[in-house]
Amino acid sequence: MLAAVSSVTVLWFRQDYINGGDFMFPMAPTDNILVNYYHIWTDKWGLGLVNSRAIPQLPLMALLTLAGHLGISTAIAERILFYLISFTSGLSIFYLVLILPFNEHKKTIASFAALFYMFNPFNIIFYWHILDGMIFVYALIPALLVLYLQWFSTRKIVYALLFFIVTFFGGYTFSNPLVIPMLWIVLLFFNFLIVDFKEKKTEVLKFYFTAAILWSLLNSWWLVPLFGSIFDEYAGLSVTIGSPWDTLTAFSDNTSFLNLFRLSDLYWAFGDSTMGAPYYNYANIYKSGLFKAISFILPIIVFLPLIKYLFKDKLPRFILLLYGVTLCLFFFAKGNHPPFGEILYSFLFKLPFLSAFRAPIHKLGVLISICYAVLFGYGMSILYGMLKKAGNTLAFITVFIISSLVIVVYPYPLWTGEVIHDGGKNYPSFHVSVPEYYSNAAEWLNSKSEYSRFYSLPQSPTFNVAYDWEHGAIVGDPSFNIFSKPGVYSTVDTMAQLPYRLLRDEDEKNIYKVLRLQGVKHILLHKDVNDELWDIFTGKYKSVNHLESALNDQKEIGLAKEFGKLKFYKLNDNAF
């Protein structure tokens, strides 16, 4: 069943790729992919930077390269990847429930829990709609949790090997270092759920620290460079992406306890709009009375066992602990939303590296979803048991209706594919097909034998740029994955952006003097930029035509080649 319902992810694809947000799947010939991932230092961004976050992604990118040599295109590979993420997430929760010490109805609880984890309100607001690396975290944390618990319970080497293999190929998960402590906290907590704490405390801790040390040693090839640079990176977040405190405030606007209990309306952009169009094309229906009523079914089912417990019904210890942890997660996930919101806010001021936690609901949503999935499955089992006293038919029909409302009707965008942004007046589509002229341009540029950079125009400090391709796109500069030559792309590096700013704002005629210091020989002008949907310019220059005119007026720079809407300029040999 889980394998079948996971196939809905394949139906989401309406063009070659799904790309957008912070998720940039390689839209490139497979031989170009690894170039971006196997060095700690990369010269492909700005004037060069530490590439430590890319190192954990190397095994996955190696698999994509291997798939390409086997005749599987990156477009097909992305479909397979989405399917595996969905299937792995559901299957892992299913087996997690089977491991937990439920006394009866394990498979029923596991089935409801797995389906809820795959199709729940949180996913229509965050991971699958925003599209970022957290979609990997959503699948890999429960998978690693199941393998770890099986390794502890059986001591079989096969589970240890699977644990480390999944970690190895799922390295994309750990490109966000915050996931590492999240994982190991979850492993320890659930390990204590399945054993008697007093009798097994020493055994659990000994196994835990042994596994953690072994894991760290086996993954030191990416852990050392990652943590060698990560504290400086987070300490500088206020400079590079804006104040983390402002981000915390934005992500905390809607995280009231009422919304957290319903896992609904948790993000300010959900239901908001700009330029006369909503950020979420399907958000308006969730303002209706019917959908608001359905949203309250979820917390009723999740907390039904606890309500029975308050009336002296027996409740397993591990379920009580799950409730306690869920409430604690709610407290931290709400960010600086009242009450006591100033606590996390003050921590961000005192400990700069905690700026990685500037969007707590986004990061902790995985853990909340795991707990809610187990509790929802258990709540449905309890409900069925209560209604069964009035007749099996009534119990079955009621459970079927409720589960359909929560798992199918409410998160319907996950079933129809609307969860993937299809474009609008204010934001291009995440359904992407790359124009053929990029491949032609890459073949020409990659054929140049000498080492040199190309300078990509226009540049955006937000990284993502809107393009006027056939179906639209808002992605990072596609040249990054398609061209093997190093380039100076959209970046926050002031020196790297200097030629662009001189060209755009100052009417400077000699930018070649700055470009040659950066090792730039070619300039790539993207005339396929859609600045009506994403205004990446400032001042009075609101068209890429200004850049083209300014380039034509440059000294020591001339037009070298043109491919579709891409124009390559070249520094004269005596200027380079």
Question: 147 is written with which tokens?
Answer: 């393998």
The sign one gets for the Cα dihedral 203, 206, 209, 213 is negative
Which two structure tokens, joined as six digits, stand for 177?
Answer: 């270092």
pLDDT at 532: 73
* Rounded CA separation 576/569 (Å): 13
Q: Is the pLDDT of residue 501 over 90?
A: no
Beta strands in 1-111 (DSSP E): 17-18, 41-42, 49-50
pLDDT digit string, tens, across residues 46-96: 667 777 778 888 888 888 888 888 888 888 999 999 999 999 999 999 999
CA dihedral 302, 305, 309, 315 (to 10 degrees): -120
Most confident of 53-67, 137-151, 241-255, 476-490: 137-151
Is the pTM higher than 0.75? The answer reads yes
- What average pLDDT does the segment 98-124 reach? 93
Asked if residue 569 has pLDDT above 90, the reply is yes
pLDDT of res. 84: 94
* pLDDT band with cut points at 50, 70 and 90 for residue 26: confident
> Residue 575: pLDDT above 80?
no
Give residue-wise pLDDT tens across range 421-433. Answer: 887 777 788 899 8
- pLDDT of 345 reads 64
pLDDT exceeding 70 applies to what percent of the chain?
89
Q: Are 51 and 40 in contact (CB under 8 A)?
A: yes
77-85's contacts with Cβ under 8 Å and 24+ in sequence apart are 78/13, 78/17, 78/18, 78/25, 79/9, 79/10, 79/13, 81/25, 82/9, 82/10, 82/12, 82/18, 83/6, 83/7, 83/9, 83/10, 84/139, 85/9, 85/135, 85/136, 85/138, 85/139
Distances (CA, A) of 97 to 101, 148, 185, 195, 377: 8, 14, 18, 14, 9
- pLDDT tier for residue 232 given thresholds of 50, 70 and 90: low
Average of pLDDT values for 493-516? 81
> What is residue 151's predicted lDDT score, i.e. its pLDDT?
96
Structure tokens that stand for 274 in this block: 């700009």
Using one digit for the tens of pLDDT, what is the confidence trace for 285-344?
998 999 999 999 999 999 999 988 887 778 888 999 999 999 999 988 888 877 776 766
Q: At residue 545, does pLDDT exceed 80?
A: yes
pLDDT score of 406:
96
Pick the closest to residue 379 from 439, 311, 309, 448 (CA basis): 309
d(CA 413, CA 418): 5
